[in-house]
Structure 1
Amino acid sequence: MGDGLFHAERIFDGTVWHEDASLRVVAGRVAGIEPGGKAAEHLPGWIVPGLIDLQVNGGGGVLFNNAPSAEGIATIAAAHARFGTTAIMVTLITDRPEVTAAAAAAVDAVPGLLGLHLEGPHLDRARKGTHDARLIRRMEAEDLALILRAAQRGPVICTLAPESVTLTQVGELAAAGVVVSLGHSDCDLATARAYADAGARMVTHLFNAMSPLTHRAPGLVGAALDDGRLWAGLIADGFHVEDTALRVALRAKQGPGGIFLVSDAMSTIGSDETGFTLNGRQIFRAGGRLTLADGTLAGADIALIDAVRHVHRALGLPLDAALRLASEAPAKAMGLTDRGHLRPGARADFLCLTPEITAGGTWIGGGRVA
């Protein structure tokens, strides 16, 4: 953990902007923001809170499903740090039981790693998206036990569908501190609310791979927007969700649970890959999209900063609001109070933001990592 005094033309603490100011870091945490910059290291750009990505499948040429190891996680986290992301939930897509077990065991103290996100295999085949239908299955006792063990090591998000998991199982997961996220599901409004009653607190990539909102059947989308207990992730890459739907969701969401941005990034981030394999199937990279041979979207080809830039420029969201969607909002969704902002006591995780809304440098715990 580092010490230092960092000056910038502007500093965003997560709530307000400070002009011509310096961020003081002591033992890896924010001690305060001071006017001026005498004796400070000057950073060309604006200092803003580090981005927190709760859905990262890969990066740096590594897909977690294909490299469920501490080394794989380190490569993925380092790739995203180059783009201003200071904390990730490394995400395993539906896979074989032995791969899930290896992924859970691989989670270790890697810089930039927040925890583990298990997206599947307990989903609804009718809303499988790019997940391999052959590997989707109901949650059994041994699956539940594995997730509960993983939660003892650190934060865990578990994306599941009511079609494959019981209310009792959700209650056990929630009681152990697992963040239960509903997704890849055709469930109706009443079912989604029942699972929120049981302890679900999140919805995975809103609009994608779920029952839609219609005027007589609001479905999982309606539950996500109307139920203040549920936080909802959004992929803002210009492909997964049309911009009008993004605007509607941001205006409609009822709190205290809000919306946060995710990248849903695959191995291509920070690499020159033209494609990769997932569960033995070829994924193609072209035109900013990742797809299966049949055109099904297969994750996203963005880092989280790209989503921030998209909602700021394409949707017209103020920059501070766009930044909060990728920093303080995901931190709150995970119940974390010392991340996602730069107020006194917070972890000194920050990036140097350029006027082009790109990362000019990244610091974790006050130490530069990219």
Structure 2
Amino acid sequence: MIPFQGCGQGNGAGPPIWVLVSSIIIQMMVAMGFGFECLTAIDSHLVIAQCFCFVDDTDVIEAGASVDHSGEDICQSVQAAASMWAGGISATGGAINPEKSFWWLIDFAWDGRKGQWTFRRKNQLLRLQIPGLSVMKSLEYLMTLLTLEAATWVDIMSPVLQVCLPKAGICRSFPRDMVLAPLKFQGLGIPHPFGSQVSKHIETLLRHSTNRTKTGAYLEAALQEHQLETGTSFGIFQQDYCNTAVLASDTWIKRVWKELENMDIYVAFDSPALPLQCVGDALLVEVFMDLEVNQDDLKWLNWCRMFLQACTVSDIVTADGRCIRQSAWRGERDGIHRSPYQWPRTV
């Protein structure tokens, strides 16, 4: 058995030592082919990720080789990745703590009644722990990923304020508008958690996209996937939520889109456009919307479009543009049309 050779708890050199050690283990994982990789939906740029590290915490990622792979298909490779990571930690003098190690399987199933993909498994719900006096700071750590409604934040803050206000010498029933108001307006200066959440979302979108970080690359990939999914000539944040939200999968970006539109906040991103193929061509989704089909019909028409991997009218018509091809009428893909895009899983 290899003896532990850690640098010791509280050692100031611990973080840089972990950076050096983890870098070698990550390169080992890359060499063995573990991790996640995909092409962005429209411009086919490669997006890769092996793990996410923060100080001494690491999230190791393993994904299927294609969109058609299910959770069961990758169980063996997930076990191999976990064993490889644990082996790398052991070889460098450390060890995995089972009590602090967790795993999540994320997969989707098609719901034919709702016409959308849903999570196959529901893991433990996120629980907020309020440690002592650092309540707001603890909540802020979570806000980037959370997309809670304002009313939900009020419910979360209610028991916190019930306890904390009396300890500060303030009546526990003090008007909440004053509690959450800025000091310059004679409030208590406690930031409204919903406002802080929105600020975190905007900061994440702008900072990572501008600085071209890894997170920015993941956001760009998700934005392109949504644009291909909605089939319009604009990025998702430039679209009207009430018109095309029904076409988009339920993701963090979709929820932030709804949040920003409800607050009349406009965020623009430069994304590759879905080009037309010839004079007189048009995007299918925009044709459907011009015909004013209802939301249910629009959703199912869009699923047919995605199954056929078609964006424009020219993708489903004959060469002279006069007739829709028989294969499109029958809902069958053929070898005539070859899409240049990376399409999601369809049924």
**Aligning the two structures, in what range does the TM-score lie when normalised by the shorter sequence?**
under 0.3
> Taking structure 1 as the reference length, what is the TM-score of the superposition?
0.20
> Taking structure 2 as the reference length, what is the TM-score of the superposition?
0.21
- Larger % of helix: which? 2
The structure having more radius of gyration, on CA atoms, is 2
- Larger % of strand: which? 1
Structure of greater relative contact order (alpha carbons < 8 Å, 6+ residues apart): 1
